Amino acid sequence: MRSGKPVTILLVEDDEVDVKALKWAFDKLKIANPVAVARDGVEALELLKTLARPFLIITDINMPRMNGIEFLRNVRASKDYHDSIVFVLTTSNDEEDKIAAYNLNVAGYMLKSDMGTSFTRAIALVENYWKIVEFPGVG
């Protein structure tokens, strides 16, 4: 059964307006879970070291230094976080990006352009996901 610990959300997103929009969606849905923000893949890998389980990652693709696909590759190759649950939320409608992301076992690939002017639908989906789905590696 689920442990009582709340799920931490790791947002990997370089655009401050999108970060704002996501946080606003959390507010609107009255989600009070802890949220950590990394500006690119390099920062996200650093943050992961300090993140308590259970956690869930929402990542953008196009970012400075290390993009989302490279970040995913690093996550899947790592000893400690290879089993992470990762959603992609991006402007990239590129078929190659989608294939690459699903090959790296993402839970879902969402387009920012499909979200209209708010991310509430995406965040509602992710919230439902963590409320219903069992997380790996939680004691």
Partner 1 sequence: MTTQRPKTLKDALQALDEAEAKLRNFEDDTRVLRAKATATSSEARFRMLAEGVPNHLLFLDRDLRIEFANNVFLQAAGWTAEAAHGRHISEVVGPERYLARQANYERALAGETISYESAGAAGDDSGFYRFTYRPSFDDSGQVRGIFSMAIDISERRKVELELEAKQAELLRSNKDLEQFAYVASHDLKAPLRAIELLVQWIVEGLNGYDVNNVQENLGLLGRRTQRLNRLLDDLLAYSRAGRKVGDYRQTNCQELVLDVIQLLNPPEGFTVSIDGQLPTLETFPTPLEQVFRNLISNAIKHHPGPKGQVVVSCEDRVTHYLFAVRDDGEGIPAQYAERVFEMFQTLKPRDQVEGSGMGLAIVNRIVQWQHGRVWLEPSPAGRGTVFKFEWKKRNPKASTTEKQACEAVNQ
Using CB under 8 A as the criterion, which residues of the chain lie in contact with partner 1 when the complex forms? Answer: 14-18, 21, 24, 39-40, 61-65, 90-94, 112-113, 117-118
Q: In the complex, what is the shortest distance from the CB of residue 132 to partner 1, in angstroms, rounded to a whole number?
A: 29
Q: Which residue's CB is nearer to partner 1, number 50 or number 117? A: 117
Other beta carbons within 10 angstroms of residue 5's beta carbon come to 13
Q: In the complex, what is the shortest distance from the CB of residue 29 to partner 1, in angstroms, rounded to a whole number?
A: 14
Q: In the complex, what is the shortest distance from the CB of residue 79 to partner 1, in angstroms, rounded to a whole number?
A: 21
Rounded CA separation 50/69 (Å)? 21
Q: In the complex, what is the shortest distance from the CB of residue 91 to partner 1, in angstroms, rounded to a whole number?
A: 5
Rounded CA separation 20/15 (Å)? 9
Q: Which residue's CB is nearer to partner 1, number 7 or number 110? A: 110
CB-based contacts of 85, cutoff 8 Å, min separation 6: 56, 57, 107, 129, 130, 133, 135, 136
